Amino acid sequence: SCGLEPGWLIGGQPLDLPTPSRLGEEGKPFVIEGDEYDSAFFDKRAKFFHYLPVIAVVTSIEMDHADIYASVEEIEHSFQLMLRQIPSDGTLIACADDRRTVKLARHAHCRVHTYGFSKEAHWKGCYTGISSGFSGLLIERSGKRYAELAVPLAGRHNLQNTLAAVAATSLMGGKPADITEAMMQYKGVRRRMEVFLERDGITYVDDFGHHPTAMKETIAASRELWPGRRLRVLIEPRSNTMVRNGHQHLMASALQAADEVYFGPIYRAQRIPFDERLDRDAVLAELAEMRVMGKSFDQVEKLAEHILSSGKKGDLVLIFSNGSFDGIYDLFRANENNQA
């Protein structure tokens, strides 16, 4: 849409592109998603050490991937090493709303552009409200009006990502009018706040979120996009970080904007020492003190049965899982088919 003819490799299924990857034309931009997780079972280096970016976007730095990193400081060190791969005439685009990313930018040996809602950001966003599923985003570049976008996404995190994409596209030659038009046509990515079923006035939403921060932002976005709904959150503790208790102290505050919270079984729980394992009931006890009701289930079939039998018209069922959740999606779809 912006005339750049890029190639790409995306760690998800875009809803408006034919495939998650395309080589693109020689000499044109190539966009690749990479993070600090290991490259393969035989290569424990972070993925981004295999790339030599001219432009690198860093959205946030948090403790994650507990099977690879012992602390967030180790993750910060990996990012610092990654910055050395950006040439001196390249650009780091860093989120001004994330304190660790701001700290990281001081280690850059290249030009730095910041983005976010912070008043110090080079690319500063101002949220102007949501209407008909589109979020209004007014963008300033270095204090001057750059563009006003209608973004077909909800949530602060999605608008931050939009700002990063706008900054990168502009640096590659994209024009504000073309960027504005392109964003209006954007359809999103599968398993990111994706509605996969609507039945009896109940909306079922799938999201890949598997970190407390991602869950908190997605819940806030859901409240904004579907106001007034009873929000029932279902969680599969599955990732190597979520199945452990390292983030347990953050879970209740991340989930407190829900009306109800339900945990499914911990994935491969027997492989995790008991004293390191997520205590679902402890999180639910904290939530109960916040007047958020919930329950943990060791059988997905029982969880699905409870949600279906107690559902009410207008409910929003938000499912967090970075896996299959033991087939819970098919259980909900099967119920629709059985009623048809």
The model's pLDDT over 107-161, given as tens digits with 9 standing for 90+, comes to 999 999 999 999 999 999 999 999 999 999 999 999 999 999 999 999 999 999 9
Task: State mean pLDDT over 63-89.
Answer: 91
Between these two residues, 122 and 18, which has the higher pLDDT value? 122
Confidence of residue 329 (pLDDT cuts 50, 70, 90): very high
In the chain, which segments carry CATH 3.90.190.20?
194-339
pLDDT of residue 99: 96
Task: State mean pLDDT over 160-176.
Answer: 97
Cβ neighbour number for residue 317 with a 10 Å cutoff: 23
Cβ neighbour number for residue 103 with a 10 Å cutoff: 14
pLDDT of residue 2: 81
Cβ neighbour number for residue 231 with a 10 Å cutoff: 20
Q: Report how far residue 313's alpha carbon sits from residue 203's, in angstroms, rounded to the nearest whole number.
A: 9
Task: State mean pLDDT over 302-329.
Answer: 97
CATH 3.40.50.2300 corresponds to the domain 194-339: no
In the chain, which segments carry CATH 3.40.1190.10?
7-185
Task: State mean pLDDT over 287-310.
Answer: 98
CATH superfamily of 7-185: Mur-like, catalytic domain (3.40.1190.10)
Coarse DSSP helix, strand, coil percentages of the chain, rounded to the nearest 5 percent: 35, 25, 40
pLDDT of residue 107: 95
**Residue 293, phi then psi, degrees to nearest 5:** -85, 155
Confidence of residue 40 (pLDDT cuts 50, 70, 90): confident
For residue 311, pLDDT over 60 is answered with yes
pLDDT of residue 336: 62
* pTM reported for the whole predicted model: 0.90
Residues of the chain with pLDDT > 90, as a percent, come to: 86
pLDDT of residue 7: 94
* Angle between helical axes of 248-255 and 280-289 (0-180°, round to 10): 40
pLDDT of residue 283: 98
Which H or E run includes 177?
Answer: helix 176-185
Sequence-separated (6 or more) residues with CB below 8 Å from residue 245 = 276, 277, 278, 279
Task: State mean pLDDT over 67-93.
Answer: 93
Task: Copy the structure tokens of residue 333.
Answer: 């779809």
Mean pLDDT of the chain: 94
Report DSSP letters for 254-316, one per residue. HHTTSSEEEE-PPTTGGGS-GGGB--HHHHHHHHHHTT-EEEE-S-HHHHHHHHHHT--TT-E
* Angle between helical axes of 156-171 and 176-185 (0-180°, round to 10): 140
> What is the SS3 string spanning 59-95?
CCCCCCCCCCCCCHHHHHHHHHHHHCCCCCCCEEEEE
- The residues pairing with 166 across neighbouring beta strands, listed in sequence order, are none
67-102 b/e (C-beta count within 10 Å ≥ 16 → b): ebbeeeeebbebbeebbeebeeebbbbbbbbbebbb
Tens digit of each residue's pLDDT (9 = 90 or more) over 176-221? 999 999 999 999 999 999 999 999 999 999 999 989 999 999 999 9
For residue 339, pLDDT over 70 is answered with no
